Amino acid sequence: MYALVDGNNFYVSCERAFRASLNGQPVVVLSNNDGCAIARSNEAKALGITMGAPWFEIRHFEESHGLVALSANFELYGDMSDRMMSVVAGLGHRQEVYSIDESFVDLSGIRGDLTERARRVRQRILMWTGIPCGIGIGQTKTLAKLANFIAKTAERKPGSYPEHLAQICNLGGMSAQQQAAVMETTDVGEVWGVGPRIGAQLREAGVKTVQDLVQLDPASVRRRWSVVLERTVRELQGVPCIEMEDEPPPKQEIAYTRSFGSPVTALRDLQEAVTEFASRAAVKLRGQAGHTGRVLVFIRTSPFRTQDKQHSASTTVPLRRPTDDSLAITQAALVGLRAIYQAGHRYAKAGVILLELAPAAEGQQELDFGDPQAARGVTARPRLMQALDLVNNRYGRGTLILGSAGLADERRTWSMKQERRTPRYTTRWEDMPVLRA
C-alpha cells in the first residue's frame, strides 16, 4: 500500500504560513518574470483563474476582488518543502520525495488503521509547518495519486465526493463497489499519466471516466496507445508497475533556461545571457560532482507574438573531454550560439542544457604528451573553479563572474522581472520574521 501526500496550493500555503492576512483571500504566485500564475489559492480558483493564466489577463481581479499576486520565492518554498518532507517521513518506512510538494510513502509493514494514522500525520504537518496537506492511499502509486486527487477535490468542492473523503482518501480501505463509484465520477483526464492529448483520444474512443479506463484490456491499450498507458491501466487495476525510488537517481541533464525581461535582438546581449546561463548550469553541475560531455544551447522568439518572424534553433556542442569547468562550458555554449544566431529577430528566451552527465570521479584521464600548458590547465582549473564557487558562496552570487557575462547591469535588458517577492523568511537572517509584543 502506498500513500501520496501533497501540500495544498503549496506555494500559496508557504506564503500564508508567514502572512496570516492572506488567509481567506484570493492569492496567486507568479512564475519568473511575473509572467503567469503557477499557484492559486482556492479563492483564486473560484474566480476562474486557471493554472498558467497570464498575469496581464487576470490583473483586473486585483482591483475588483482584492486578488493578491506574489512573485515566486523559490528559496522559501524549497526550505518549507524540506521541513514538510521530514514530517511526512514519519508516515511509513520508505519515502520518495517526488516533487517540491509531493511525496510517496511505502506503507507496507505498517499495522493498524491507515486512515487514522494518515489523519494524525496530516495534523502534525499542519501544526509543525503550517502547510495543509491532502493524503491519498492506494495499492499502487497511480491509485495513491488518484486517491489524493479525490481527497483534495472533496475538500475543495463539498458535494463532489462523499464528505468523509475530504483531506484523506483511502482507496485501499474501500469495498469494490465504493471504489467503482468514485471512479465513475472521476474524469479520465485526472489519472496520473493521462495528459490532455491522450485524454482527448480516450474520450473520443468512449473512455470517459476512470472506471471506463480501468476496465480496458492492457494488451489492447498497448497496441492502440503505448506501453506507458498500458502501465497506467495495470496500476489502476492494482498491479504495481512503478517502483518506489528512495534515492533520487543522478540527473541525466542539467538545464538553465530563462525568458528575458524584454526582447533581445543583439548578438552581444545574447552572449551575455548565454554566458550567465552556462555559468549557472556549471555551478549546479559541480554541486552534484558531475561532468558534462556535451552542451546544448538554444534561443527562440516568443510564440505568443504571432506578428513577429519566428525563429527557434538549438545546437549541441561536444566537449573535448567531459568537464565541470565554467570556462570550457561557457566557451562551448558561445560557439553554439554563434552558429544558430540570426540577426533581426526579437528573441524572448534562451537556455543552456548540459548533457551526457557522468560522475566527475569517472572522468577519463588524458595522455600527457609533454605539453606543459595543457598539463597546467588540467591541474589548475579545478582549483580555480573551487575558488570561484567559494567566493560566490561567501560574498553572494555574481561577486566573481566571467567577463563575457557583461558588467553593466543597466544594459542587461534581458534580466528577469520580479516585483512582488516576499522575504526569504527561513533562510536569511535579515529576513527573519520578528514578533512584536
> How many C-beta neighbours within 10 Å does residue 329 have?
22
Distance from C-alpha of 363 to C-alpha of 251, rounded to nearest angstrom: 17
Taking residue 179's Cβ as centre, other Cβ atoms within 10 Å add up to 21
Q: What is the gyration radius of the CA atoms in the chain, in angstroms?
A: 25
* CB closer to DNA, 205 vs 375: 205
In whole angstroms, the minimum distance from the beta carbon of 414 to DNA comes to 10
State in angstroms the smallest separation of the CB of 236 from DNA: 13
117 or 138: CB nearest DNA: 138
Nearest-angstrom CA–CA distance, 391 and 383: 12
Burial track 61-88 (b if 16+ CB lie within 10 A, e otherwise): beeeeebbbbbbbbbbbebbbebbbebb
User: Would you list the DSSP string of 35-76?
Assistant: -BEEEE-HHHHHTTPPTT-BHHHHTTHHHHH--EEEE--HHH
CA distance 9 to 27: 10
Cell, residue 283: 555551478
Shortest reach from residue 7's CB to DNA, in Å: 9
Strand duo 290-301 + 312-323: pairing: antiparallel
Distance of CA 101 to the CA centre of its chain: 9
Is the CB of residue 297 less than 8 Å from the CB of residue 318? no
* Minimum distance of DNA from residue 252's CB (angstroms): 4
Measured at the CA of 245, the angle between CA 77 and CA 361, to 5 degrees, comes to 90
What separation in angstroms does the CA of 185 have from each of 3, 153, 188, 213, 425? 21, 12, 9, 12, 42
* Nearer Cβ to DNA (117/279): 279
What is the smallest separation between the CB atom of 158 and DNA, expressed in angstroms?
23
Q: Which is nearer to DNA, 169 or 194 (CB)?
A: 194
Shortest Cβ 82–DNA spacing (Å): 15
Residue 177 CB, nearest distance to DNA (Å)? 27
Q: Which residues pair with 6 in a beta bridge?
A: 102, 134
Minimum distance, C-beta of residue 319 to DNA, in the bound complex (Å) = 13
Contacting positions for DNA (CB under 7 A): 6, 31-33, 35-36, 38, 51-52, 54-56, 98-102, 145, 191-199, 226-228, 249, 251-259, 262-263, 284, 302, 304-305, 314, 316, 348-349, 351, 353, 416
Nearer to DNA, 21 or 306 (CB): 306
Show the cell assigned to 3. Answer: 500513500
Determine the angle formed by the axes of helices 326-340 and 372-395, rounding to 10 degrees. Answer: 100
Smallest distance from the beta carbon of 56 to DNA, in angstroms? 3
